[in-house]
Structure 1
C-alpha cells in the first residue's frame, strides 16, 4: 500500500490564552503532571487554572502554581511560540482535530501540547509501534525488517522512537514500502537531528529548543505507547546455529 503525503503550506502559529498557558506550563516542566492535569480538568482549561493561581483564589484547586501564571504573558512563552513558527512546526493541543486520541487513555497525565513536523493527519490513523535494541543482531534486524514491511504493506502506520538500531530501521523499512511513519522524539524538534530517514510526521512533547533528558525520554516512550494501537517489541534474537 502506498501512502502519499498531502501538500501543506507553511502557516503562522495562531495562539490564544489557552495555548499560551499550556506553553507556560510545559516550559515550567509540568507537562504530564497529573496534579496539573487534574486542575486543568476541574477548572475547564489551563488558562482558567493560571487565572485562579494568579488571583490567589481556590488555592486547593490549582496548587502552588501562582509564580507560573505570570510566565503565560512573558518573553519565554513568546520565544517558544516564535521558534515554533520559525521552524515551521505545528503546535497542537487536546482540542486540535489531529490530537492523537490514544493519549486520552493517559487521563490527567497526558502531555499538555505536542510539537509536530510533517503530515499531522497521520496521527489520526491506526499505528503499530515497533521498538527494540539499539545494537541489534543480524537476526533482530531481519525480524525488524519483516515486521515493519509487513505492517506497512497492510496499510498500518509504523511508529517508533528515533534511536539507532531497531527504531531507525523500522522507520526506514516502512518508508521504503511507501508507508506512513510516525517518529516520537525525546528532545525538542529544533534540537532533533534527522538521521537516515525522514518520517511522515515527527512529534515531540518538548519545546523546540529543549534537550533530551531522562524525563523527556520516559515521556516520549509513554506518548509512543499511548498513540499506538499495538506495540511490537523486538528483543535481541540470536541463533547459535545461524551462519556467520
Structure 2
C-alpha cells in the first residue's frame, strides 16, 4: 500500500518529474538500512527494506518498455532467453537474506522480466492460452499469493515434510496460481468491468453537462 500511496502522490507532480521522484525516494529508502542499520521502530524497518527498491526497478523497466526497448532490441528472442537464463542462474549464487536482497533477488528478477518481455512478441505469434490467462491474472495472483501459500503450506507441509522442499514450493506455486486465477475471474474482472461502466457513466454526465452549459437558453 505504501508504494501505491507514493505513486498516487507523484501524480500531483509534473509528468516529467514523476518517475525520477518516485525512483529516487524508493531507492533512498531501500539504501537507508545500509547506513542506519535495523531500527527499533517497526515502521522504519518496514519502509527501509531493500524490497522497496524492487518497485523502483519495476518502474524503470516499465519506462524502458514504453520507450520501445523490446521492439528495438536486435535478436530479441535470443537476448530474451539469455536474460531469463542469466536472471534464473543469478539466484543460485545468493547469500542469506541480507540488506543486499535488492542485488540477490531484485536484479535477477529484473533480468527475468526483461527477458520475458523480449520473448513476448514471439509468444504472441503462437498464443498460449494458459500463459496468457496467468498474465491476465497476475495482479490477482500477486494479491493472494501470500495467503494462498500459507494455507497450502498448512495442509501440504505435513504431508511432504522437510524431505521434499522442491515439491512443497511447486505445490505452493500451483495453489497460489489457482487461487489467484479464481480471484481474477470471480472478483477482479467483475470489479474492473463495473469500474469501467461507472467511469463511462461519469464521462457521459460530464459531456451532457458541458453540452447543456454551452447551449444557449431559449
In the superposition, the TM-score normalised over structure 1's length comes to 0.25
Structure with a larger share of its residues in strand = 1
Q: Which of these two proteins has the greater Rg computed from alpha carbons?
A: 2
* Larger relative contact order (CA 8 Å, sep ≥ 6): 1
In the superposition, the TM-score normalised over structure 2's length comes to 0.27
